[in-house]
Amino acid sequence: MIILKAENLKKYYDKDVNIVKALDGVDVEIKKGEFVSIVGTSGSGKSTLLHMLGGLDRATDGKVYVDDKDIFSMTDDQLTVFRRRNIGFVFQNYNLVPILNVYENIVLPIELDGNKIDKNHVDNIIKTLGLTEKINNLPNNLSGGQQQRVAIARSLATKPAIILADEPTGNLDSKTSQEVLGLLKITSEKFNQTIVMITHNEEIAQLADRTIRIEDGQIVRGDR
């Protein structure tokens, strides 16, 4: 089953008198439960593609379907709600709230949505990511790898079908990167979640089921 699909996706930016074709006709199909990495040099269009796939920004042309829903046909408000319910984001700079402890950070999106915390599910995630001993700590007292595991736990807590990760290991050393990614993979498999991850790191990209390579806004390799 295809959970995420882009059709002839284009994103052009106006830059002074020029037009930057950040995405220039991209087709992607991602199956439910798949773990896909997106690789390419800086400026090739990776972040733009991830933003389009997650509905963080609108395309110039083309379509994105999440679970067969044409997300750009939604209003901004509809899209915001849809995104919150279906998509989890993980960024390079963890974005944890410094005055909240690990547990509070993890359940924050659930509470902001006004939903009831599924304690079993949250405990399961915390355990799988090896954070049980750390739940009362503040983010500042954690290593980079631990902070990213908290950010991953937070993105998984709302049970999104899709996780979109932009250079999630960009600030971590090689050993920690492998470890954190391994845990992300195990956890998402356990809950049958789909991951799309941007990375510069070829070793990290290898951990995915499949790699999509992008150059100058176009896909150059990978079987879509």
Residues that bind ligand ADP (CB under 6 A): 13, 15, 20, 22, 40, 42-48, 166
Under 8 Å CB-to-CB from 208, ≥6 apart: which residues? Answer: 35, 36, 37, 195, 197
Residue 157 vs 198, nearer CB to ligand ADP: 198
| Smallest gap from residue 49 Cβ to ligand ADP (A) | 7
Residue 41 vs 78, nearer CB to ligand ADP: 41
| Smallest gap from residue 196 Cβ to ligand ADP (A) | 13
Q: Which helix (H) or strand (E) holds 13?
A: strand 2-15
Task: With CA atoms as reference, report the closest residue to 176 among 210, 214, 144, 221.
Answer: 144
Residue 5 vs 46, nearer CB to ligand ADP: 46
Tokens of 189: 């498999």
Contact 207, 185 (CB under 8 A): yes
Per residue in 167-193, is it b (16+ CB within 10 Å) or e — as a string?
bbbbebeeebbbbbbebbbebbeebeb
| Smallest gap from residue 44 Cβ to ligand ADP (A) | 4
| Smallest gap from residue 221 Cβ to ligand ADP (A) | 15
Residue 15 vs 119, nearer CB to ligand ADP: 15
